[in-house]
A and B are shown apart, each in its own frame.
Chain A
Amino acid sequence: QQPVQSPQAVILREGEDAVINCSSSKALYSVHWYRQKHGEAPVFLMILLKGGEQKGHDKISASFNEKKQQSSLYLTASQLSYSGTYFCGTEIPRSARQLTFGSGTQLTVLP
């Protein structure tokens, strides 16, 4: 089942903060975050593993609530380059590392 992302779209000014949420109905092993700009491939940002380990981008942070099967991506002091569509990909245990992606959150940062 596809994870649910919210909001679907957000517009903010440079320097403002944003939070993007990802929620799953299944018990998760890990959550992956990607940013995709128009016409380009998704770029890896962050992986959050069950048990709290986190690996990824040094200017973007994220959390993973294992009890609620929810993850949030925190974008602070946004830059113009942060614009794009953000996808979360979820991995369930014993799925041979298959990722199921949400439908995306479109983020637009204005000057």
Chain B
Amino acid sequence: AQSVTQLDSHVSVSEGTPVLLRCNYSSSYSPSLFWYVQHPNKGLQLLLKYTSAATLVKGINGFEAEFKKSETSFHLTKPSAHMSDAAEYFCVVSDQTDSWGKFQFGAGTQVVVTP
């Protein structure tokens, strides 16, 4: 079975400083991994995805994530936070085990950006 753990429920950063959101996953097969962002009172938007190609994945708005199989991690980073990055972020895993068609969501990380 697949599962995903977001290690921080809340991250606070200053504008212009790096952002690191940590995600660990468990999967019996080669997983697909995703990061989504949800701004207040909005739907979820895809930031980036890993689907067994390059391990370093670049996404929108300057975000990137690195797939590390040995550490079962898919951490999200951005070199310089912007006020507009304040939102909820979700790490998601999907594979082909008994959860066919199912995307497993992490509990989310709330990002606060201070001026």
User: Is the A/B pair a real complex?
Assistant: no
Seen from chain A, the residues whose Cβ lies within 8 Å of a Cβ on chain B are none
